[in-house]
Each structure stands twice: as C-alpha cells, then as structure tokens.
C-alpha cells in the first residue's frame, strides 16, 4: 500500500513539475515557426523597407525561424495596425507601424484599437520628411512654394500617404498658418506617392529621406525643405523648414509592436533577436546604403516618445481647428 502511495505521489510530483516547466520549455523552443510582421502601408515606402531589411537579417542570423513581411495597406494605416493589435498574442504576429496610426488618428476618429491594445518592442527608425517637388516646378524652397500657392490657389497638387498622416498634418499646418490652399491627394503609401511625383502626377510630396534622396541625386526630384530641427548631412542646412521660417514637423517613426497579451518571456526573446539584427553590420550597411534613418529605442522609451508626439498632435489639431471640422 505504501509503495503504491509513493508511486502516486511521485507521479503527481512529476506532473506538477511538468506544468511548472511548460512555459520555460515552450519559450526555450520559441520561435519554432515563421514570424509575420504586418506593415500597414503599401510596398516601397520607408516602413516597408525597414521591415524587410530587419526581417531578412533577423530571420537568417539572429532568430531560429524565418520572418515574413506582409503588407496590409488602407485607411491611413489603421487597417493593418488594427490587424496587428487584434491578432493572436503568441509572439508570431507582429507589426511595424508608424506614428500617425497611433498619435494622430485617435484624436479625430473612433478607431477599433487603442494604445492599450499593443506593446512596443522597439523603435527601428525615426526620420523627418523631405518636402520634395517635381524638378519642373517653379518653386525651389518653402517660401517660394507659399508665394506660388497664394498666387495660384488649389493649383499645387500635394500628394500624401493618407489622410491624417504626419505629412498631411504638415501640409494642413502650412495651409492654416500661411492662408494658402493646396489640392491634397491621398496616394496610399510612400511607394505610390514616390511614383506619382516622379511621373509628374503630383507636384509636391512629404517623402522619407530614404525614399527621396536617391532621386534628388539623379535630379528627378528637388528638395524644398526638410521638416524637424535635427537636419541631415545630405540636405543643405538652408533648406531646413525651421530655418526657412516654417517650423513644420513630419516624423516617420517605425515601431515594432506586438498585440497585448504576448507573453513577457517571448517579448524579450523577440526584442533581443531583433536588436541583434539591428546591431548587425549587415543591417546597418543596407540601411546606410538606402539612407534609412535608423534609430533604436527600447519598448519603454518608444512608448514615451509616442506619448510626446500624441500630445504635440493633439495641441496642433486644436490650434488649427481640425478638431472642430471633425465633430
């Protein structure tokens, strides 16, 4: 009888230990199948470029599983961002999304997700926008653009990624503060916007530095201004919008996120794997080669920066009266 009781006790102990060790064993094997990164924009833009570059290096060298990138464009990035936030929180479903989906749109419309629905893993890039123009246009800086717009209302066709993106907000700010009217046309992403500008279908566009500089160098585009205050070594200092007297910002912030509920242990594995990929000379060389402005922040710091931009755009929306227009 005692022998049987001892066997039952040991069996129960083994079972209990197995239950306790299951999360550890599970995470030790994670990831054991492909990871998906959703990009809520069309192919060809800075976010898509950053995601594919990081995924390639991470999947080949720093994570034990492949990393695939899937584009889910639409509704100013909110369709893809919502898909990320509402996907299964198992560590296999991630997203690389941009700030406009998280810090602008929530001020102006009801979204199917909130900031509580996602967890920032790390910031991958942070760049301001080049206000680029087709080279045939008669304006060569923001001042000349404003003067032309005043003399020719609604004649300048301004392409944007989508409504309520950071580039759109910069154009709305310029319109409100300079009393001009642009013809603003959503293009659906950085890739289509770049193509539209190169083809002369739009006159100006806020493009990421990585998107614009190769075409500036071949005289297929020209720079009217660079938003923000940091500047860039390949953009003349006198073309900084702030120095021209037009303090516009249009940050394109790429943050790797996971849906709420993703296990902490798996988030750490993901962070560490993607951070190794970020630090890899291969990733840095590719990023430098395409002028991608990579800038790492850990998850907490990325959240804090997004909160600062959230406040900035909330204040701007009230200042230019956009909140009243959307009520």
Cα separation, 257 vs 176, whole angstroms: 34
pLDDT at 225: 98
pLDDT at 172: 96
Q: Return the domain boundaries, the chain.
A: 31-126+252-319, 129-250
Q: DSSP assignment of 84-142, as one string?
A: HHHS--SSSEEEEEEHHHHHTHHHHS--S--GGGEEEEEEEEEE-EEEEE-TTSS--SH
Q: Per residue of the chain (327 residues), what is the pLDDT tens digit?
A: 555 555 444 444 444 444 444 444 445 689 999 999 999 988 887 889 899 999 999 997 999 999 999 999 988 788 999 999 999 999 999 999 887 888 998 898 889 998 889 999 999 999 899 999 999 999 999 999 999 999 999 999 999 988 888 999 999 999 999 999 999 999 988 889 999 999 999 999 999 888 899 999 999 999 999 999 889 999 999 999 999 999 999 988 999 999 999 999 999 999 999 999 999 999 999 998 888 889 999 999 999 999 999 999 999 999 988 876 655
Cα separation, 125 vs 49, whole angstroms: 11
pLDDT at 187: 93
Cα separation, 109 vs 143, whole angstroms: 33
pLDDT at 316: 93
Q: Could you tell me the CATH superfamily of domain 31-126+252-319?
A: Bordetella uptake gene, domain 1 (3.40.190.150)
Q: What angle do CA 236, 240, 245 make, to 5 degrees?
A: 135
This model's pTM is above 0.85: no
pLDDT at 326: 56
Contact present, 220 and 195 (Cβ < 8 Å)? no
Contact present, 100 and 68 (Cβ < 8 Å)? no
- SS3 state of residue 29: helix
The CATH architecture annotation of domain 129-250 reads: 3-Layer(aba) Sandwich (3.40)
Nearest to 107 by CA among 319, 257, 254: 319
31-126+252-319 and 129-250: identical CATH topology: yes
Cα separation, 63 vs 55, whole angstroms: 10
């Amino acid at each position: 009888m005692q022998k049987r009781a001892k066997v039952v006790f040991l069996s129960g102990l083994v079972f209990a230990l197995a239950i306790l060790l299951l999360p550890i064993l599970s995470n030790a094997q994670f990831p054991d199948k492909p990871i998906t990164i959703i990009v809520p924009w069309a192919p060809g833009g800075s976010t898509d470029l950053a995601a594919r570059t990081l995924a390639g290096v991470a999947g080949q060298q720093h994570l034990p599983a492949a990393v695939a990138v899937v584009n889910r464009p639409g509704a100013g990035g909110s369709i893809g961002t919502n898909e990320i936030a509402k996907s299964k929180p198992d560590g296999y479903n991630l997203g690389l999304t941009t700030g406009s989906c998280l810090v602008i749109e929530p001020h102006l419309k009801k979204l199917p997700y909130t900031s509580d629905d996602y967890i920032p893993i790390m910031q991958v890039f942070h760049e301001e926008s080049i206000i680029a123009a087709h080279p045939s246009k008669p304006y060569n800086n923001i001042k000349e653009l404003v003067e032309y717009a005043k003399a020719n209302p609604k004649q300048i066709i301004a392409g944007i990624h989508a409504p309520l993106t950071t580039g759109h907000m910069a154009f709305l700010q310029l319109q409100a503060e300079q009393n001009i009217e642009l013809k603003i046309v959503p293009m659906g992403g950085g890739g289509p916007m770049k193509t539209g500008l190169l083809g002369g279908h739009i006159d100006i566009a806020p493009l990421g530095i990585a998107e614009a500089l190769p075409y500036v160098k071949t005289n297929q585009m020209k720079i009217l201004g660079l938003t923000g205050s940091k500047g860039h070594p390949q953009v003349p200092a006198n073309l900084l919008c702030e120095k021209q007297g037009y303090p516009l910002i249009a940050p394109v912030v790429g943050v790797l996120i996971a849906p709420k509920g993703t296990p902490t242990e798996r988030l750490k594995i993901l962070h560490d794997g993607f951070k190794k990929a970020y630090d890899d000379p291969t990733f840095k060389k590719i990023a430098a080669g395409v002028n991608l402005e990579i800038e790492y922040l850990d998850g907490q710091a990325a959240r804090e920066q997004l909160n600062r931009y959230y406040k900035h755009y909330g204040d701007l929306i009230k200042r230019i009266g956009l909140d009243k227009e959307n009520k």
